[in-house]
Amino acid sequence: MSVLIPILGLGIVLYVIVYYNMFKGSRCTSSATLKGKTAIVTGSNTGIGKTTALELAKRGARVILACRNKERAEAAAYDIRKESGSAQVVIMQLDLGSMKSVRSFVETFLKTEPRLDLLINNAGMMGPGRTEDGFGMAFGVNHLGHFLLTNLLLERLKQCSPSRVVNVAALLHRLGTIDFALLGATKDLVPGQSNWHNIRAYCNSKLCNILFTRELANRLEGTSVTTYSLHPGVIYTEILRNMSWWLQVLMVPFAKLFFLDLEGGAQTTLHCALQEGLEPLSGRYFSSCALQEVGAKGRDDALARKLWEVSERLSGLC
């Protein structure tokens, strides 16, 4: 027993060091206020999207909650209005798994909202299934829906510049690959729907986020619209609800112990949206509120251009 006590104590100390230095991450230090500005946050009815929207509302922004589930969005809007003291929190229905829904959302937004200063492409999912248009769910929602949304809103962003597009990616982009032949044949980047395929599909979609940001920055060069991708940290969010029950049993206890809370997970998103002086770093990738290097595939400009061209065709932009 006397031997176990110091071992246990050492374990606790190591846990605290790891938690606060690796998992807790850094804080957004920007003091920017957003009065008179408008932000869209996708997937903002829950998780870090909701936390991000709350912080933007606290800073005075008019915040559009772009969410698929109207009831959950209404509950989130109520919470955000109450905590922020702002009445400028608006719900607009958006299903990123439906090209028709994305186009309808943009049409409504452009008719009713005169400004767009921040577009935060936060929504993400991991799990099986197909979108309304037949694409693999992770590819269709995490990449293609946001690709179409961003392109349809670019003119409004340019009109209100300086403005920013922030794409929430993940460190797992380093494990991603893009097989264009497979995508052309199956409308997905993985060949199956098993749990392993779902994890791979998520990694692939996050690589798409990185490459989309890189090519978008290249295409926006010379404008006052900038764009950034980021790894928000390892976060305990409701994304776990899309995993199979046995994966949840394995992951949830570990997640509760080690993963970031929602406030911590929103910090790098807020940094990319608000921090002054980031304009020369458009197209780059951030983690823990600091510039980071992406994986080798994420630096491939030819791959980024090809993904853009393929995405234009798949989303009906050309």
Strand order, beta sheet including 225-231: 89-93, 62-67, 38-42, 118-121, 163-168, 225-231, 285-287, 290-292
User: Across residues 148-156, what is the average pLDDT?
Assistant: 98
301 inside domain: yes
- Residue 162: is the preceding peptide bond cis (ω within 30°)? yes
Q: Which of 202, 228, 236, 285 does the annotation list as catalytic?
A: 202
User: Region 134-146: what's the mean pLDDT?
Assistant: 98
Q: How many domains does the chain have?
A: 1
Mean pLDDT rounded to a whole number for the chain = 90
Range name among 25-29, 197-201, 207-211 with the lowest pLDDT average = 25-29
pLDDT of residue 318: 87
115: burial class by Cβ within 10 Å (0-12, 13-18, 19+)? middle
- Work out the widest C-alpha separation in the chain, in whole angstroms: 71
Evaluate whether residue 49 is within a structural domain.
yes
Residue 62 forms part of a structural domain: yes
- 1 found inside a domain: no
- Tell me if residue 80 falls in helix, strand or coil: helix
- The residue among 3 and 200 whose pLDDT is bigger is 200
CB distance 118 to 284 below 8 Å: no
162 domain-assigned: yes
Work out the pLDDT band at 50, boundaries 50, 70, 90: very high
Q: Is 15 a catalytic residue?
A: no
pLDDT for 12 equals 46
Looking up residue 235, the CATH number of its domain turns out to be 3.40.50.720
- At 265 the pLDDT is 86
pTM for the model stands at: 0.88
Alpha-carbon gap, residue 163 to 154, rounded angstroms: 10
Asked whether residue 232 is assigned to any structural domain, the reply reads: yes
Q: Which residues of 187-199 are buried (b: 16+ CB within 10 A; e: fewer)?
A: bbbbeebeeebbb
Asked, for residue 45, whether it belongs to a domain, the answer is yes
Give the tokens for residue 154. 């670019």
Residue 241 scores a pLDDT above 60:
no
Determine the pLDDT at residue 14.
47
Which residues, 6 or more positions from 303, have their beta carbon under 8 angstroms from its beta carbon?
A: 178, 211, 297
294 or 257, higher pLDDT: 294
| Residue 91, strand partner residues | 65
> Domain containing 77: what range?
28-314
Assess if residue 7 is contained within a domain. no
299 or 244, greater pLDDT:
299
